[in-house]
Amino acid sequence: MKPKDVSILIVDDEPSIRNSLAGWFKMDGYKTEVAEDAYEALKKLQENNFDIALLDIKMPEMDGIELQRRIKEIDKNIITIIITAYATVETAIQAMKDGAFDYITKPIDPDELSRLIKKAIEQRRLIAENIMLRGKIEELQSLDEIIGESPAIKKVMELINTVAETDSTVMIRGESGTGKELVARAIHAKSKRRYFPIVTINCGAYPEGLLESELFGHEKGAFTGALYQRKGKLEMANKGTLFLDEVGNISLKMQMDLLRVLETKKFTRLGGDKVIEADFRVISATNRDLEQAVREGSFREDLYYRLNVFTIFLPPLRERKSDIPLLTYHFIKKFSLSMNKDVKEISKEAMNLLMDYDWPGNVRELRNVIERAMVNVKGSRIEVDDLYFSISSPYPKPEGETLEDVEKAHIKKILNKTGWNITKAAEILNIDRVTLYNKIEKYKLRK
């Protein structure tokens, strides 16, 4: 961090002290702001981001200790340093317990002050680096979990690469467990926005009012319980990507609000009137039939078109079964590392079981099955007995009661085996191509 990238807030009720501190830091090239009391400080903190806050411990109305607590609620990563006179060292110790980085006593040795600020900046850099690293690890994980050789998944990877470079709005469609969030992260990680955050919000997980405040943030007192101002996810996603998961589940009122934000990139926090601008790319995901929802009137058509500029369909696992071995070995390797186990393979019988299963929970379910198997496994090879299927029976469900069920499953199996090569599949099934087409239509089989 260069000094000019470091901003320092100085809070002291004594003008000569805050001005001399500000002057001192300016000479060192830092950006500084001063506040004469806690209220002014909190206001400035809500308008700007600061790296370091220097707080005088003794101030009328709200002292430095209380101010520090409130600052930490707004941004827990701000480095706070307490300024104290000798008489109040005990309170300074309380401030340290509350998370102050350090405290200094007046008058300060210039060298001590410079050293302290350098140390604080280093700490700040480490925090930022950690946050970035954590993000990077998640991204890397996402990148190496989109795995497969099947035409269907290769197509998805191609689309990710194409769309990542553009700044286009993307909608990811697919059943749950197919890895929609991984795709969103992969797009973000390959885009020019990758040095900024990807902020995920699961629209299905909040009741309407809360979703609003999650997205837009709120001002202090916007509703009961809104004790402090809070930034919303839209603001946090500035310069980065906003990932709206389960976007099909939001209320009509929220759909309208969201549409307005996507069109203007401007909004206000709940209970506030300051217009905030944020520049973010939107990626959304849903497992709902949105076209149906539009027809029914439960999803706004204009929002649908806004979100659906570029679509990526994620195939369910049962339609890309040729990827199961690759995925299985990937998960074995991954869990071997994280569980510190030396498992290298899976028996042929166990693999057959995985291949025959229908995977209603998709890749996520496969991952869970392998994870459990890795816990159970005794030797270096996963056996049939190690496999437990979480959703239905521990074994693949019977191929069906009726003859039609059996026929449907068999045709599907052959189609998948041949990679949907109709001629080959017809040959194996010993029927002609037209008959096969008719059966595909009848059973509504899809790649």
Partner 1 sequence: MPSIYIVPAWLEENHDLEFLRLRISEVFRKKTVIYESKKIDFHSIYNPSRKQYNSSQFLIQLLNNHPKDALRILGVTDVDLFIPILTFVFGEAQLNGIAGVVSVHRLNNKFYGLPENEELLRKRLIKEAIHELGHTYGLVHCLTPGCVMNSSTYVEDIDEKSEFFCSYCSSVIRG
For the bound state, the minimum distance from the C-beta of residue 27 to Zn ion, rounded and expressed in Å, comes to: 5
Helix (H) or strand (E) holding 102: strand 102-105
Q: 30 vs 359, which CB is nearer to Zn ion?
A: 30
Q: 113 vs 440, which CB is nearer to Zn ion?
A: 113
CA distance 54 to 19: 13
User: Could you say which of partner 1, Zn ion, none residue 113 binds, taking C-beta under 5 to 8 angstroms by partner kind?
Assistant: partner 1
Query: Which residue ranges make up the site for partner 1 (CB under 8 A)?
Result: 3, 14, 16-17, 19-21, 23-24, 26-29, 83, 106-111, 113-114
For the bound state, the minimum distance from the C-beta of residue 124 to partner 1, rounded and expressed in Å, comes to: 18
For the bound state, the minimum distance from the C-beta of residue 12 to partner 1, rounded and expressed in Å, comes to: 9
Range list of β-strands (E), 31-85: 31-35, 52-56, 79-84
From residue 11 to residue 40, the character string flagging contacts with Zn ion as x (rule: CB under 5 A) and all else as - is ----------------x-------------
| Token pair listed for 54 | 């220097």
For the bound state, the minimum distance from the C-beta of residue 374 to Zn ion, rounded and expressed in Å, comes to: 59
Strand order in the sheet with 170-173: 198-202, 241-245, 281-286, 170-173, 310-313
User: Could you say which of partner 1, Zn ion, none residue 23 binds, taking C-beta under 5 to 8 angstroms by partner kind?
Assistant: partner 1
For the bound state, the minimum distance from the C-beta of residue 61 to partner 1, rounded and expressed in Å, comes to: 22
For the bound state, the minimum distance from the C-beta of residue 34 to partner 1, rounded and expressed in Å, comes to: 12
User: Could you say which of Zn ion, partner 1, none residue 21 binds, taking C-beta under 5 to 8 angstroms by partner kind?
Assistant: partner 1
CB 67 within 8 A of CB 23: no
Neighbours of 413 (CB within 10 A): 15
Q: 106 vs 125, which CB is nearer to partner 1?
A: 106
Q: 37 vs 407, which CB is nearer to partner 1?
A: 37
For the bound state, the minimum distance from the C-beta of residue 51 to Zn ion, rounded and expressed in Å, comes to: 21
CB 35 within 8 A of CB 11: yes
Q: 26 vs 154, which CB is nearer to Zn ion?
A: 26
Dihedral sign for Cα 414, 415, 416, 419, please: positive
Range list of β-strands (E), 196-263: 198-202, 217-218, 230-231, 241-245
User: Could you say which of partner 1, Zn ion, none residue 111 binds, taking C-beta under 5 to 8 angstroms by partner kind?
Assistant: partner 1
CA distance 314 to 156: 7
Q: Which residues pair with 268 in a beta bridge?
A: 275
| Token pair listed for 290 | 């949105």
**Residue 111 makes contact with Zn ion by CB under 5 A:** no
Q: 114 vs 168, which CB is nearer to partner 1?
A: 114
Parallel, antiparallel, or unpaired: how do β-strands 79-84 and 230-231 relate? Answer: unpaired
Q: 27 vs 403, which CB is nearer to Zn ion?
A: 27
Binding site for Zn ion (CB under 5 A): 27
